[in-house]
Amino acid sequence: MRLMVRAENIQTVSAAVQRGADFVAVPMLPTRSRILAEETEYARARGVKLFTELDGAIADNHLTDVLKLAAVSARCGADGLILGDLGVYSAVRKILPDIPVIAGSRLTVSSCGGTQALAELGFCGAFISSGIGGYELERIVNNSPIDVIIADKPEAALVKILPALYDSGRAVLLPRVENTGQEENTALVTEYFSVAIRERRNIRASEIKNLNGKLPLTAIRAALLSGEIRPAEEHSPKPRYRGGEFLPPSVKPEEPKRRPQISVSVTNPELLTHALIKLAPLILYIPVDVILADPQKIAAFAQNGKTRICAAIPAGEYDFTALEQLKPLDIYTLLISDAGHIAPALKAGFKLRADFGIEVRNSQTLQLLRELGFESACISEDTPHHEIAEMFKYLPIEVRYHDDIRKSRYGITWLRTSFDKETERECTGRLKRILTVLGLSSRPLLRAVWNFLLKSE
């Protein structure tokens, strides 16, 4: 196991390096361009790798600025980048094809397939989902082809998982530092975990709770002022990266503007009734376990000749051999929310639609998903309508219904509504609003919806 520490300035970078960090992550901001070269040189001279963090969802209008920051990081000698957006990663790869990149906290993986998928895309590391622990975490780390960063774990979880991962060459611990701008806090947390990893020590939750500024810092401050514990080694050359050219993504063939179509998501199997069959939604999302539990009920939807059923796959590890049972039901499309499911789903012969778990905030991500074989992608409902109007040019997009959707309805291909545990009045009211947005005559459809709701009580 190795240790990564977040730092915000040259003082905290120095504290992390001196106290035993193997990696240091610093934020890449326009105001830090001048100091970054000094930080990278200091860390590199002591055998520590420094990564700049550009972790976040980036809209199209900010993409050029982010690419400039990535170029500055490479020019200053950073050992790599931490990126949290697939679209930004795709764009960075075009201008810096060689620079190492870690998938940030917005691209967390939750399965062995996730680490494999990111490795195939060219990432050298990835953050593990904070909800993964115990044996499952150990299995993912030990089978990962790339480094796995373990971050944001509570004290009790760290006590259980660290001893099992001390000898893992792929595990990288990123402990929480209460204030990454304070030199003493950074030094104390770094030293505690570096010693624990080096000596394979059994840690205690009470000790971790007292790390972030709650213990006397006199000894740490004295040690920092007394001189370098980790002196500079023989000078190592600054890394050099090949350059490339960024080109905007190509748009899909121009289509006439049209009103969005309704897609329906059903998570409650009791709502899969004959009334819903008569409603005949064009796209119907059903959890795969619900489909496999009662295939005969699902077969009735395929017989109406209008509804296309998509099986929603849960995030995390999944046995794709079981999906062969879907093909006799004429179900060849999967709703994917985990990057680790892309390769096995395509290998099994299914078409893909991206759910909200695969976050999309810019056209670069849509371009990448299109190249990977996706038919459509979901975007967040808080995406500004002027961005939606541009993004739909690259891949058909889908959003959940919300009250302000009428402003951007012409950029949306699919408008999703869900039936789960809502009351009859809530479902009917939502559908009335959707039909008003779409500009459709509501009476025949609402009659069918009303019957559907009544019969599913």
The predicted structure's pLDDT at residue 335: 94
The predicted structure's pLDDT at residue 225: 43
Instruction: Tell me the per-residue pLDDT of 159-215, one tens digit each, with 9 for 90 and over.
Output: 888 888 999 999 999 988 876 667 888 888 888 899 889 888 888 877 777 665 444
SS3 content of the chain, % helix, strand, coil (to 5): 45, 15, 40
Are 326 and 291 in contact by the 8 Å Cβ rule? The answer is: yes
Rounded mean pLDDT for each run of 10 residues along the chain, 457 residues in total: 92 91 91 86 92 83 88 92 90 91 86 88 90 85 93 82 89 83 82 89 77 50 51 66 61 56 79 71 88 84 79 87 89 89 88 89 87 87 72 81 53 66 55 57 48 48
The whole-angstrom separation of Cα 251 and Cα 215 is 57
User: What's the pTM?
Assistant: 0.81
To 10 degrees, the CA torsion angle through 194, 200, 206, 209?
20
User: Residue 280, CB half-sphere, CA atoms under 13 Å: how many?
Assistant: 7
CATH code of the domain occupying 2-225: 3.20.20.70
The predicted structure's pLDDT at residue 390: 73
CATH code of the domain occupying 261-455: 3.20.20.70
Instruction: Tell me the per-residue pLDDT of 60-94, one tens digit each, with 9 for 90 and over.
Output: 888 888 899 999 999 999 999 999 888 899 899 98
Domain ranges across the chain: 2-225, 261-455
The residue whose two tokens read 């976040």 is 56
Q: Does 261-455 match 2-225 at the fold level? A: yes
Helix (H) or strand (E) holding 73: helix 60-75
End-to-end CA distance of the chain: 54
